[in-house]
Amino acid sequence: MIGRSKSLADENRRKLTTLQNEQPKLRIQTYDDLLAGARANLERILRPLILTGHNVKLYVGKLN
């Protein structure tokens, strides 16, 4: 696990991709990748989620 996606420079992103390609068992992710994966899993199990604000409120389903 490393920092945030937006703080990762393009050059460093390419280096990480090269490193992962050379070491197939190595998996490098940002915290944003972790959050996106968790959200995708929740949406697959439940249904689409709506996240709002800095102090996140989680809603399952649609809001009218």
The number of beta carbons lying within 10 Å of the beta carbon of residue 50 is 11
**DSSP secondary structure string for all residues of 25-48:** T----BHHHHHHHHHHHHHHHS--
Per-residue pLDDT of the chain (64 residues; tens, 9 = 90+): 888 988 899 999 999 999 999 998 998 999 999 999 998 888 888 777 666 666 766 666 655 5
Domain that holds residue 49: 5-60
> What pLDDT, on the 0 to 100 scale, is given for residue 12?
92
DSSP 61: S
DSSP 52: E
Q: What domain count does the chain have?
A: 1
C-alpha of 52 from chain center: 16
C-alpha of 24 from chain center: 20
> What pLDDT, on the 0 to 100 scale, is given for residue 11?
94
